[in-house]
Amino acid sequence: MGNNKIYFKNLDSIRFIAALLVYLEHGISPSYQYLPIKNTFWEKLLNIIRNDAADVSVFFVLSGFLITFLLINEHELNSKIALQNFYIRRALRSWPLYFAVLLFSFLIYPLIASLMEINIQHASNIFYHLTFLSNFDVLHLFENNLGITNPMPQNITWSISVEEQFYLFWPLIFVFLPKRFWLSVILISVLGSMVFRIIYYNDTWILYFHTFAVGLNLAIGALMAYLITKSSRINSFFENCGTYSHLLLFLLLFCFLFWSKTLFAFKYGDAVSTLFISSSIALIIAAQALTKSDSRLNMQHLKFANKWGKYTYGIYVLHPIVLILMSLLVPLSPFATNNFVFTFSFGVIGFILTLFFSKLSYKYFESRFLVLKKRFTTVETHP
């Protein structure tokens, strides 16, 4: 029987770490060019930490896992899924800040740049962003070498759009199909995305931005959720994961990332590697979410990450705005220089400001919609 109160450990910590790694790529990694580490172990290690594709994959796998688990649990609890309430919940959580970012990107930022007499090339198509198809707009920009001249704030919405597309279609499986078909559809989704990735194995941007390509991460997260809800043995395995099990899972993911160019050095390597990386992420998420053991690698011990995890959405979508506003002020600073200390300090200050504004956003903006969201919640995760 389902339970309308579900406690998932460590999801906030996982979200925060993923958002932190994305920020390291955008805000801190520009300083790496000034370090004498070229072609060394440290350069390779830093490249793993700044692996933007893997970092965003964490969010996708986590979304697929959590949404599928909640849908299945709601169906078991009520023998049905309130589809309208599901859509309202997702809109109240994602849309307000999403559209606020678009308002800044397409109206406020160009106005500020104009007042400062800064010429920007705004090649984005706002229609794609307003209809949650921004990943296809960003794909077009990068395929045509326009992405680098485009301001980053609206580009960050590509992954939000992919998730919104997932939220639109995924619950229909659990509403209109009998339970005996659920696993088959999830497996077909995994297989279909893999086939798509193999077909476009040589197109980096399609593999990175296209819904059918990154949908593999969401489907793998969904598969993990299905398995732990339907198999008591699998559920029990993750509940009993201790320090050594957690360590092995972290090492598994590290190995796939660190030696990816060696392990997947074949024709379809870039297309196939995501299957292994995302599966490793799914295993870590399940182990961290369900563990009942006193593991030393339990992410609950990461107090700062636990505390700031609820602000992750703001951290993720607001950090480009913080960075781009800071970049407008840099030329005005007498301390602006092209060296490691200044560039690294720029990134650190940007992160502190991002935390500050994400907290403000959550407290005074997002929380107003989250209060309304609770009215439409059937099954919820809670501490």
**pLDDT tens-digit readout, 138-194:** 999 888 887 655 556 788 999 999 999 999 999 999 999 999 999 999 999 999 999
Interstrand relation of 380-381 and 5-6 (parallel, antiparallel or unpaired)? parallel
The whole-number pLDDT of residue 47 equals: 80
Regions of the chain short of the pLDDT cut 50 = 1, 383
The whole-number pLDDT of residue 257 equals: 92
The whole-number pLDDT of residue 144 equals: 85
The whole-number pLDDT of residue 4 equals: 64
CA distances in angstroms from 235 to 127, 144, 238, 239, 314, listed in the order given: 43, 46, 5, 6, 32
- Give residue 225's domain range: 5-381
Split into its structural domains, the chain has a count of 1
90 with 167: CB under 8 angstroms?
Answer: yes
The mean pLDDT value of the chain amounts to: 91
- Give the CA-trace dihedral at 89, 379, 214, 24, to 10 degrees: 80
The whole-number pLDDT of residue 381 equals: 67
3-state secondary structure of 202: coil
pLDDT digits over 194-216, tens only?
999 999 999 999 999 999 999 99
